[in-house]
């Protein structure tokens, strides 16, 4: 790592000879493969933007020129060039550096949300702020992928950026033809056509040849300069993709040719007004196992062999794989089942469904709002749509769930992967809000399976609901141990542990949501001198009447959930007890009202008191006054 060892800031990068930049790019790729293979992370996207990121920091002046990376999972090279190369051993680990840009890490990081399609709106606002505060000569650089441009928010932003001819917004389209999987839709088709045009470098070569033929080697005549300008100008024109917006366009640029990228960025830096630079890159470039990974070109990996790219540990059966099996089974039994994803067929488990039923599968791109209302249209047409997305991305489509689906009593099933605490992906990827936001939707039914067997049951139960929306939520990762119920009540509530003691011990009703059943059972075994009944509601919305009745028979009700404490399942049950005039005290063990830093799921749960030790300590503390009396 000869050149990297001397880099601690973009200023150091600017002091290198241009001839050294290709060597630097090779060192960065070597570092990425070595470090990310050991920690896991977004390898493919970062290998694809090495030359691009070097060119950005070489030409522009970060942080005075703000860089906004859309989603920012491709910001590893940016972190390396801004003095964080020595911290990659701690990538995505507790106390280490984030897998996304993080304002607490560096002045060069302007944002930290990892949701796609927001960069251009950030850039629009930043450019307006710079203009209003007398810094309008600066550039705001937004790096956005072709996948993110399938999101409507990007086009709303472009509609506002384009008229601002006095504001310097550089929109760098990192076009690798993919998000997780190949980019789809009319926009992707348009980009593919643009890629077939003459490259920016070819235009520049034409201009240089013209200059040489007119005497460039000798005195720079007026005619020669005009010919050179025309050679460049022929490429800086609006294209068919942006005719109404009227934005300037440079491209397509070979994103792995250092000279091409530097030339394009230099032009963009000096251009007055908003401009689009179309850079064509290859996801995973320089690492054959990533390039050859047909699934997602190593978009995100676990720990892998740095030579072969093969995962170090065998993949254990997980929640997503169970859903993948069951949605195909349901579609084989019912012709009205259709599936929708927002550019995440593989991660949500719908890839196999797409192969088995291509005519009943819809990938709408990174457009959760459209996905939900399109599902409403499918339901209006007599079908039963299954919308599979990450829990954290449901936040973006709440209005559509509320007013386009629920208001019309439409049978749409939402399957929320990565629900609850996800850990290492950071604050904006944790799915701790879904129970709070879905519980306020009139007529909705929400299920939280405790294990793989219950996921199978509850998903099929959800598909049987025909008079409104249903939600099935489950966490990230391997499946937990399965726990058989002692008894299932008429309204579907499972009793997993029951204490019927005649002594004077306190009776505690411990209501465990989803995968926390195992935690609740382990905690119950450790609580001494307490009669603990553990129940799994299975359907957490609406609140089952048996839950209210059991609460009335106990001395304390404790709700254990991995959603936020404010507005979660505990709040819902508390309201139900109040309405029934049940005065049994209720306590909530849930995620606090904070944005957590990245760490493993187990570390984060322990930190907020949602592991077995934390549950036992909290219940003992709440019971202390009773036991003392």
Distance of CA 134 to the CA centre of its chain: 35
Spatial separation of the C-alpha atoms in residues 562 and 320, rounded to whole Å:
18
Answer yes or no: is 368 a known binding residue: yes
Cross-sheet strand order for the sheet of 494-497: 487-488, 494-497, 530-536, 506-512, 556-564, 586-591
Query: Which is catalytic among the residues 58, 178, 283, 473?
Result: 283
Spatial separation of the C-alpha atoms in residues 62 and 54, rounded to whole Å:
12
Burial class (CB in 10 A: 0-12, 13-18, 19+), 342: buried
Would you say how long the chain is, in residues? 629
Answer yes or no: is 414 a known binding residue: no
Q: Taking the CA atoms of 573, 575, 576 and 581 in sequence, report the sign of the dihedral they define.
A: positive
The dihedrals phi and psi of 273, each to the nearest 5 degrees, come to 115, 180
Contact status, residue 62 vs residue 108, Cβ threshold 8 Å: yes
Peptide bond into 542 cis (omega under 30): yes
Burial class (CB in 10 A: 0-12, 13-18, 19+), 196: exposed
CA-based end-to-end distance of the chain: 68
Answer yes or no: is 73 a known binding residue: yes
The stretches of 274-318 forming alpha helices (DSSP H) are: 288-291
Answer yes or no: is 361 a known binding residue: no
User: Measured between alpha carbons, how far is residue 103 from residues 56, 79, 108, 139 in Å?
Assistant: 19, 12, 8, 19
Contact status, residue 417 vs residue 320, Cβ threshold 8 Å: yes
**H or E segment to which residue 32 belongs:** helix 21-39
Answer yes or no: is 11 a known binding residue: no
Specify the 3-state DSSP secondary structure of 77.
Answer: helix
Answer yes or no: is 116 a known binding residue: yes
Peptide bond into 201 cis (omega under 30): no
* Nearest one of 84, 20, 78, 25 to 53, comparing CA atoms: 78
Answer yes or no: is 115 a known binding residue: yes
Query: Which is catalytic among the residues 396, 418, 450, 588?
Result: 396
Structure tokens, 353 = 């469904």
Contact status, residue 88 vs residue 306, Cβ threshold 8 Å: no
Catalytic (active site) residue 368: yes
Contact status, residue 559 vs residue 572, Cβ threshold 8 Å: no
Query: Which is catalytic among the residues 368, 450, 538, 601?
Result: 368
Structure tokens, 107 = 């002045």
The residues near 176 (Cβ < 8 Å, ≥ 6 apart) are 45, 48, 145, 146, 280, 281, 282, 283
The residues near 111 (Cβ < 8 Å, ≥ 6 apart) are 68, 69, 72, 101, 103, 118, 119, 122
Specify the 3-state DSSP secondary structure of 71.
Answer: coil
Spatial separation of the C-alpha atoms in residues 273 and 515, rounded to whole Å:
52
By annotation, the residues acting in catalysis are 283, 368, 396
State the binding site for Mg(2+).
146, 176
């Amino acid at each position: 790592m000869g050149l990297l060892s001397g880099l601690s800031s973009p200023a150091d990068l600017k002091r290198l000879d241009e001839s050294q930049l290709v060597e630097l790019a090779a060192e960065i790729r070597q570092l990425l493969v070595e470090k990310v293979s050991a920690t896991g992370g977004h390898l493919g996207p970062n290998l694809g933007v090495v030359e691009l990121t070097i060119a950005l920091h070489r030409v522009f002046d970060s942080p005075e020129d703000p860089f906004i990376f859309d989603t920012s999972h491709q910001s590893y090279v940016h972190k390396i060039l801004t003095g964080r190369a020595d911290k990659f051993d701690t990538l995505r680990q507790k106390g280490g550096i984030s897998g996304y840009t993080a304002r607490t890490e560096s002045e060069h990081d302007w944002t930290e949300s990892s949701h796609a399609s927001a960069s251009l709106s950030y850039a629009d606002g930043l450019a307006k702020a710079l203009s209003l505060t007398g810094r309008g000569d600066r550039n705001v650089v937004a790096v956005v992928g072709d996948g993110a441009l399938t999101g409507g928010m990007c086009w709303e932003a472009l509609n506002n950026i384009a008229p601002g001819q006095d504001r310097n917004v550089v929109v760098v389209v990192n076009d690798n033809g993919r998000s997780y999987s190949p980019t789809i839709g009319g926009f992707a088709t348009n980009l593919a056509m643009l890629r077939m045009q003459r490259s920016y470098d070819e235009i520049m070569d034409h201009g240089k040849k013209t200059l040489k033929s007119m005497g460039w080697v000798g005195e720079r005549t007026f005619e020669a300069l005009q010919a050179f300008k025309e050679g460049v100008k022929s490429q800086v024109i609006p294209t068919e993709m942006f005719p109404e917006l009227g934005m300037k366009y440079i491209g397509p640029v070979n994103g792995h040719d250092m000279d091409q990228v530097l030339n394009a960025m230099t032009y963009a830096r000096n251009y007055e007004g908003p401009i689009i630079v179309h850079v064509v890159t290859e996801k995973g470039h320089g690492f054959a196992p990533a390039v050859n990974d047909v699934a997602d070109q190593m978009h995100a990996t676990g720990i892998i062999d740095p030579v072969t790219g093969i995962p170090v540990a065998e993949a254990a059966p997980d929640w997503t794989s169970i859903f993948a099996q069951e949605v195909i089974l349901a579609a084989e039994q019912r012709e009205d089942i259709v599936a929708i994803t927002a550019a995440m067929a593989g991660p949500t488990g719908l890839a196999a469904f797409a192969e088995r039923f291509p005519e009943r599968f819809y990938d709408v791109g990174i457009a959760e709002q459209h996905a939900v209302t399109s599902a409403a249209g499918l339901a209006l047409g007599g079908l039963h749509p299954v919308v599979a997305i990450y829990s954290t991305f449901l936040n973006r489509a709440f209005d559509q769930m509320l007013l386009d689906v629920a208001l019309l009593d439409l049978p749409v099933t939402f399957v929320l992967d990565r629900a609850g605490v996800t850990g290492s992906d950071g604050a904006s990827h944790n799915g701790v809000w879904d129970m709070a936001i879905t519980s306020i939707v009139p007529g909705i039914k929400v299920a939280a399976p405790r294990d793989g067997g219950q996921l199978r049951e509850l998903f099929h139960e959800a598909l049987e609901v025909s008079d409104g929306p249903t939600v099935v939520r489950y966490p990230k990762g391997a499946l937990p141990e399965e726990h058989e119920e002692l008894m299932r009540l008429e309204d579907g509530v499972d009793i997993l542990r029951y204490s019927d003691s005649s002594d004077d011990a306190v009776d505690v009703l411990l209501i465990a949501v989803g995968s926390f059943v195992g935690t609740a059972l382990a905690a119950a075994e450790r609580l001494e001198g307490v009669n603990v009944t553990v129940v799994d509601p299975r359907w957490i919305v609406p609140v089952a009447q048996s839950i209210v009745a059991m609460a009335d028979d106990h001395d304390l009700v404790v709700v254990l959930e991995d959603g936020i404490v404010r507005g979660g399942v505990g709040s819902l049950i508390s309201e139900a007890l109040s309405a029934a005039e049940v005065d049994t005290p209720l306590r909530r063990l849930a995620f606090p009202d904070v944005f957590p830093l990245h760490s493993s799921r187990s570390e984060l749960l322990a930190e907020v008191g949602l592991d077995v030790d934390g549950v036992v300590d909290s219940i003992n503390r709440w019971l202390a006054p009773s036991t003392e009396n």
